[in-house]
Each structure stands twice: as structure tokens, then as C-alpha cells.
């Protein structure tokens, strides 16, 4: 069995995954969303302190599995430095105490593997990762052959939802709140410009759209109907930006397997628009189960299983955290 730990942002999670079958034997996540909600975003030091409280509480529950644990897998990159340290320090202590190897996992690979929890992998695949920290397209051939072909030049898709919600005075995370608000709004009411629509680049950018929304929110001055229209128009344009760039990408590459992963892949409008986009290409769309879209330790454990089988271990001395991903 693999014991896995996730603490890259505001979710403290631990999982136990069976190596031979990929079965998830235990998974528990304590989310800090409510704690950060009043600040409209994640406060790193507060997050670190809450991990320090939550992780040992979850670990207590997995003690009965200790005798069967073959390795400990932990998110080591990317994420908030102060919160990654909490998980990695715990993982190192477990590795020493149980005399087992340690596996440093890239959180982005974790999101890719959220597709394969309790399943076999199905590569090659093109994966769109949309989370709070990342918006990028990756061509994945295997665990260790991952090529990023497009990424955001500034904010991420999920982060832009968080910021729009904050502008309107709502809590965190903004994605689900804006999605709800958008359902009752008119998507075509505000004619926001699609980011980079004239650029040949296959890349993403959300800072310009965010600023346009900021002006609209100021102008709406708390009017509920206008907020709904802004939310709907923003969601529409934020999504159109993704689909327009993907269409460009599909002109040269026609993937048979396409996936959307990450916290924001829970967005229903995004899912429906990508489904439409894929139809002419007859590509198969893969999605994670809703409960595994956002950060969790089950996906880290699933990567851990494949890294264990490939004998990719870290040494206790060299395993370090890195806030930036090399993928
Ligand atoms: O993957 P995740 O849990 O954390 C990171 O690795 O960043 O993603 C969290 C992000 C937040 O920005 C949140 O607002 C966004 O995912 N999100 C959504 C939705 N649900 C969560 N964004 C848009 N629509 C949603 N339904
Ligand atoms: Zn994540």
C-alpha cells in the first residue's frame, strides 16, 4: 500500500492506495475553504497552521494500515512553500519511522492521475488542467513523458473566478459561486473581449478579462440582476477563450483522447462547451469524478503507485519542496 499526503494549498488530505489493484482503501480530506473565505483567497500562513493541525488528526486514522505501507508519496511541487513543507515534513517522518522509501509527487501529475483513481491509465492523452494555480494543456504519453504545449501568461482560469467573486463581495472559492450566479444571467449581455483572440499564440491570459469585469462590477454598483449577467458573460468569455485556443491547437494535433482536470474542471458550462468542441474530431472526453476534481490525496496516491512500480524514489536528504513546477 501507498500512503499519500497532499498539502499544496488549502486542502489537508491523506489516502491509502493498494499497489496491486489501484484500490483506494482510505481517503480523507479536510478543506480550509471556510477559514479562507472571509479573506477572499488563501492566506498561506493560516493555511500552513491549519495543515499542521489537520494532517496529524487524519494520520491517526490510518495507523492500522502502517504495517502494510510500502512507500509514502507526498506532493512536493508546485504549491505554496509554507504548506508544501507541512506535508513533506510529515512524509519524511513517516518514511524514517516505518523505514520505507519516499516518493515526491508533482501536483500537476496528480491532477492528471485524478482520471485514473481505482483505474488503469489510458495514454496517450491531451489534458487541459484548469485549477486555481494553473491553466495549461499537456500532451501526456506516460508518467514521465509530459509536454506542456500551452499555458497561462498570467492568472489561471479558476483564479479569475475567485477574483470576480471577490470583486462582487462573495467568499472563496469563487468558481462554484460564480457558476451558480451565471445560471440566472444572460451570457450575451456584456460583450467582454475574448483574451488574445487576435493573437496566433496558443496561450492563455485572464488579467485583461478580469479588469474588464472589474469595471462592469463597479458600474453595476451591487445590482443583483446585473451581477448575474456579468457572471454569465464572464463565464462565457472565460470559457470561449479556452475553446478558441483549443480549436487552434486541434488544427495541427487531433487527439483521440482528451481530458479536463483540476478544480475548475467541475464547471458545467466549460464541460458542455468542450464536449461540443470535441464532437467533429470524434475524440473521447475523459473527466475525473467530481469529488476528485479539486485537490485530494487519492490522486497523489495513484501517481505514487505508478512511481513505486517504476522505482522512482527520492532520497530523504534530496527531497525538497519547490513552489514552481518544472512541467
Ligand atoms: O485544483 P484545485 O482544487 O486547486 C488548485 O490546484 O489550484 O482548484 C481550485 C480552483 C479554485 O480557483 C476554484 O474557484 C475553482 O477551482 N473552481 C471552479 C469551479 N469549482 C472550483 N471554477 C469554475 N467553476 C467551478 N464550478
Ligand atoms: Zn490542484
| Inter-helix orientation angle 224-252/174-183, to 10° | 110
User: What residues have their beta carbon closer than 5 A to ion ligand 2?
Assistant: 131, 295
pLDDT grade for 40, boundaries at 50, 70 and 90: confident
pLDDT at residue 234 above 90? yes
Phi, psi of 88 (to 5 degrees): -65, -40
Contact 104, 77 (CB under 8 A): yes
> Strands (DSSP E) along the chain, which ranges?
2-6, 11-17, 24-31, 71-77, 102-106, 125-130, 135-142, 145-151, 257-261, 284-287
Ligand 1 binding pocket mutation candidate from 77, 159, 260, 263 (most atoms within 8 A of CB): 263
Tell me how far apart the alpha carbons of residues 70 and 174 are, in angstroms, rounded to a whole number: 39
Tell me how far apart the alpha carbons of residues 327 and 256 are, in angstroms, rounded to a whole number: 22
What does the pLDDT average to over 239-252? 96
Q: How big is the CA angle at 194 (ends 192 and 197), to the nearest 5 degrees?
A: 145
Ligand 1 binding pocket mutation candidate from 83, 105, 152, 161 (most atoms within 8 A of CB): 161
Largest Cα–Cα distance in the chain? 61
Contact 260, 274 (CB under 8 A): yes
225-240 burial code (b ≥16 CB/10 A, e <16): ebbbbbbbbbbbbbbb
Output the CA 130–ligand 1 centroid distance in Å. Answer: 7
pLDDT grade for 223, boundaries at 50, 70 and 90: very high
Output the CA 7–ligand 2 centroid distance in Å. Answer: 10
In Å, what is the CA distance from 271 to each residue of 128, 221, 278, 291?
11, 31, 11, 15
pLDDT at residue 27 above 90? yes
Cell numbers linked to 261: 482536470
Cell numbers linked to 252: 495541427
Tell me how far apart the alpha carbons of residues 320 and 327 are, in angstroms, rounded to a whole number: 16
Cell numbers linked to 286: 475523459
Contact 141, 109 (CB under 8 A): no
The partner residues of 2 in beta bridges, in order of sequence, read 17, 71
Q: Residue 276, SS3? A: helix
Each residue's pLDDT tens digit, 102-118:
999 999 999 999 999 99
Each residue's pLDDT tens digit, 275-314:
999 999 999 999 999 999 999 999 999 999 999 999 999 9
Output the CA 189–ligand 2 centroid distance in Å. Answer: 32
Per-residue pLDDT at 232? 98
Ligand 1 binding pocket mutation candidate from 29, 129, 131 (most atoms within 8 A of CB): 131
Cell numbers linked to 26: 482510505
Burial class (CB in 10 A: 0-12, 13-18, 19+), 278: middle
143-160 burial code (b ≥16 CB/10 A, e <16): beebebebbbeebbbbbb
Atom of ligand 1 minimally distant from the CA of 293: 1
Q: Kindly state the percentage of the chain with pLDDT values over 90.
A: 97
Output the CA 11–ligand 1 centroid distance in Å. Answer: 12
What does the pLDDT average to over 13-41? 96
Shortest-distance Cα residue to atom 11 of ligand 1: 132
Each residue's pLDDT tens digit, 45-104:
999 999 999 999 999 999 999 999 999 999 999 999 999 999 999 999 999 999 999 999
Output the CA 307–ligand 1 centroid distance in Å. Answer: 26
Ligand 1 binding pocket mutation candidate from 37, 106, 158 (most atoms within 8 A of CB): 158
- One DSSP character per residue, 87-134 reads HHHHHHHHHHHHT--EEEEEHHHHHHHGGGTTS----SEEEEEESSS-
Per-residue pLDDT at 214? 98
Total-model pTM: 0.96
Contact 258, 125 (CB under 8 A): yes
Q: With CA atoms as reference, report the closest residue to 76 among 51, 58, 103.
A: 103
Taking all residues of the chain, what is their mean pLDDT, rounded to a whole number?
97
Shortest-distance Cα residue to atom 7 of ligand 1: 132
Ligand positioned closest to the Cα atom of 261: 1
Ligand positioned closest to the Cα atom of 177: 1
Which residue matches cell numbers 488503469?
Answer: 120
Contact 76, 104 (CB under 8 A): yes
Ligand positioned closest to the Cα atom of 291: 1
Ligand positioned closest to the Cα atom of 260: 1
With a Cβ cut-off of 6 Å, ligand 1 is lined by: 9, 131-133, 158-159, 161-162, 173-176, 179, 262-264, 266-267, 294-295
Cell numbers linked to 117: 483513481
Atom of ligand 1 minimally distant from the CA of 267: 26
Ligand positioned closest to the Cα atom of 36: 1
pLDDT grade for 246, boundaries at 50, 70 and 90: very high
Amino acid at each position: 500500500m501507498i500512503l499519500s499526503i497532499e498539502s499544496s494549498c488549502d486542502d489537508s488530505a491523506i489516502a491509502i492506495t493498494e499497489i496491486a489493484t489501484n484500490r483506494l482503501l482510505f481517503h480523507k480530506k479536510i478543506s480550509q475553504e471556510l477559514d479562507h473565505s472571509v479573506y477572499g483567497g488563501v492566506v498561506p500562513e493560516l493555511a500552513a497552521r491549519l495543515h499542521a493541525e489537520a494532517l496529524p488528526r487524519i494520520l491517526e486514522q490510518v495507523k492500522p494500515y502502517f504495517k502494510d505501507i510500502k512507500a509514502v508519496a507526498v506532493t512536493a511541487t508546485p504549491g505554496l512553500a509554507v504548506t508544501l513543507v507541512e506535508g513533506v515534513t510529515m512524509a519524511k517522518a513517516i518514511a524514517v519511522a516505518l523505514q520505507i522509501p519516499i516518493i515526491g509527487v508533482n501536483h500537476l501529475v496528480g491532477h492528471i492521475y485524478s482520471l485514473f483513481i481505482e483505474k488503469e491509465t489510458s495514454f496517450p492523452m491531451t489534458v487541459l488542467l484548469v485549477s486555481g494555480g494553473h491553466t495549461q494543456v499537456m500532451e501526456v504519453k506516460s508518467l514521465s513523458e509530459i509536454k506542456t504545449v500551452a499555458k497561462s501568461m498570467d492568472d489561471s482560469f479558476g483564479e479569475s473566478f475567485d477574483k470576480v467573486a471577490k470583486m462582487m463581495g462573495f467568499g472563496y472559492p469563487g468558481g462554484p459561486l460564480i457558476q451558480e450566479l451565471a445560471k440566472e444571467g444572460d451570457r450575451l449581455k456584456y460583450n467582454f473581449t475574448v483574451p488574445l483572440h487576435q493573437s496566433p499564440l496558443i496561450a492563455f491570459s485572464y488579467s485583461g478579462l478580469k479588469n474588464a469585469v472589474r469595471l462592469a462590477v463597479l458600474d453595476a454598483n451591487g445590482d443583483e440582476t446585473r451581477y448575474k449577467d456579468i457572471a454569465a458573460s464572464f463565464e462565457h468569455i472565460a470559457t470561449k477563450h479556452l475553446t478558441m485556443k483549443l480549436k487552434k491547437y486541434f488544427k495541427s494535433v487531433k487527439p483521440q483522447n482528451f481530458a479536463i482536470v483540476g478544480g475548475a474542471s467541475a464547471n458545467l458550462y466549460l464541460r458542455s462547451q468542450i464536449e461540443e468542441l470535441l464532437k467533429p474530431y470524434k475524440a473521447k472526453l475523459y473527466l475525473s469524478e467530481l469529488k476528485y476534481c479539486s485537490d485530494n490525496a487519492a490522486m497523489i496516491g495513484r501517481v505514487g503507485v505508478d512511481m513505486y512500480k517504476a522505482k522512482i524514489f527520492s532520497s530523504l536528504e534530496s527531497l525538497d519542496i519547490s513552489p514552481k513546477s518544472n512541467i
